Amino acid sequence: MKESATSIASAVITIFLTGCIIIAHDVSTDFKQSLVALTGHHWISVSVIAIVLFVLFSGLLMSSKSARKTLRADDIGLWSTTLIAVTLTMILGILAVLIAHYLVD
Amino acid sequence: MLLAIGGIALVYERWIGHALIAIISLVLMVYALTTGAILKGRIKKRSPRNVFKLHKRVGIYFGALILGSFIYGLWIRLQHGESILSSVHGKLGLIILLIAFLQLIPSLVLKNRARYRGLHKMMGYVLAPILFIDASWGLHNGVIGGTKSLVLFHSISGGLAALALVWIILEMLHPTDKGLARARIASYLAAFLITAGCWIAGGYNYLTVYGSQVKPVILAGPHPWAHAIVMEAKEHIFVFLPLIALTLSITLSVLNRDTFLHDPKFRRALTMIACLALFMVLLMFLMGAIISNAGQTGTEALK
């Protein structure tokens, strides 16, 4: 059942990286502009990046046995807990940055 | 769900009694479906309680609440001097009321229910999506006060996705031989609704309508934080949801039946992921309600 946890691990990595990109684009105007330049709208860029990252990491983990072993991709309990922790942390992080941004402005 | 109801209740007052009763009915309907599935053997019975009595009692409460919600809805319409049963929401409400009574009355009156069971089961499963669609429709009407079809499609997709996620959670908590196949169907439905209905339709609305029409009104109104914090958070946090739904679908599609039936660790992990997705759908509902209300108050303030 290695593939099951592989997909969850890919989602965890993608959500973490996408969350970091979202926070970075809220903090840095230049970075936001570069996302706008990529597709015409920052939201479309973030969405496209999320899809590309998910497909990329899924493919990478599916094709590499050593990567799966290193990441313990067969442990579904570990990765489902990590998925919840990373998602909630990213939600709170994004909210915190936006609230701080609003209060400062 | 109760958290979401409470949050909405604090923001909106006019139609909140109707909405609260309807949402409690939704919870009871899920419970009635579960006890019905236990009676048919689709879901394994765990507790020694008399499931038939529970199913009957929940059915009576459900019927009473649907009747109460319907009367409440009519009362609200009359109070505002509006014609009754002219809206799709009202017509769907009437259909729900009729199905609920067709479910309840023969079950209580008939002595030999064997021939009626097939119809009872079919109507029960039909009632669930209609009730979710009508509740989403009503929530949309109550918050926005209009019928923007794309936003409506977006809300209804979210409501149906929540139902599919509850279905997955129930299949994980009560595993049976055919449970995995049903959970897979529910996960494909949830992934489709979240991706096509919520992500693409919602994203299209955000890019074409929200930025040019709603955002300036909210920023000029009394609650600019609804855009600066809530909408900005919603549009980005949402991106995580399709990934979680797709992961759940992929994981269920590669899961084999033996592992599903005999490995509680696997089922617990999948339940947790489905609960996370359900939490996010409800969070999006709450955020959407706050944004729509800010748009409405902004429009009123600018008049």
What is the percent of chain B with per-residue pLDDT over 70, rounded to a whole number? 89
- What local confidence, expressed as pLDDT, does residue B142 receive? 66
Cα–Cα dist B89/B236, whole Å: 31
Question: Domain B1-145 adopts which CATH fold?
Answer: Four Helix Bundle (Hemerythrin (Met), subunit A) (1.20.120)
Q: How sure is the predictor about B145, in pLDDT bands with cuts at 50, 70 and 90?
A: low
Mean pLDDT, rounded, of chain B? 83
Cα–Cα dist B6/A85, whole Å: 25
Compute the average pLDDT of residues B185-210: 89
What are the angstrom distances between the C-alpha of B182 and each of B125, B165, B211, B253, B275? 14, 12, 40, 11, 17
The residue assigned the tokens 């599919």 is: B164
Q: Which amino acid, one-letter code, is at B63?
A: G
- What local confidence, expressed as pLDDT, does residue B46 receive? 64
Measure in Å the smallest separation between the Cα of B291 and chain A Cα atoms: 15
Contact check, Cβ <8 Å, B239/A8: no
Measure in Å the smallest separation between the Cα of A87 and chain B Cα atoms: 8
Q: For the purposes of burial, counting CB atoms within 10 Å of the CB of B16, is it exposed (0-12), middle (13-18) or buried (19 or more)? A: middle
Q: What is the pLDDT of residues B233-267, one digit of tens each?
A: 999 999 999 999 999 999 998 888 888 899 899 99
Query: Which H/E stretch holds residue A43?
Result: helix A42-63
Do you know the residue count of chain B?
303
Chain B residues near residue A102 by CB distance under 8 angstroms? 225, 228-229
- What local confidence, expressed as pLDDT, does residue B1 receive? 44
Q: What is the pLDDT of residues B75-115, one digit of tens each?
A: 777 777 777 777 888 888 889 989 988 888 888 887 777 77
Judge whether B165 and B274 are in contact, CB under 8 Å.
Answer: yes
Contact check, Cβ <8 Å, A11/B243: yes
pLDDT beyond 90 at A24: yes
Interface contacts (A, B; CB < 8 Å): 101
Compute the average pLDDT of residues B197-216: 86
pLDDT beyond 60 at B55: yes
Q: What is the pLDDT of residues A54-100, one digit of tens each?
A: 999 988 888 888 888 888 888 899 999 999 999 999 999 999 999 99
Compute the average pLDDT of residues B9-31: 70
Q: Where are the domains of chain A?
A: 2-104
Residues of B contacting chain A (CB within 8 angstroms): 199, 203, 206-207, 225, 228-229, 232-233, 235-237, 239-240, 243-244, 246-247, 250-251, 254-256, 259, 265-266, 268-270, 272-273, 276, 280, 283
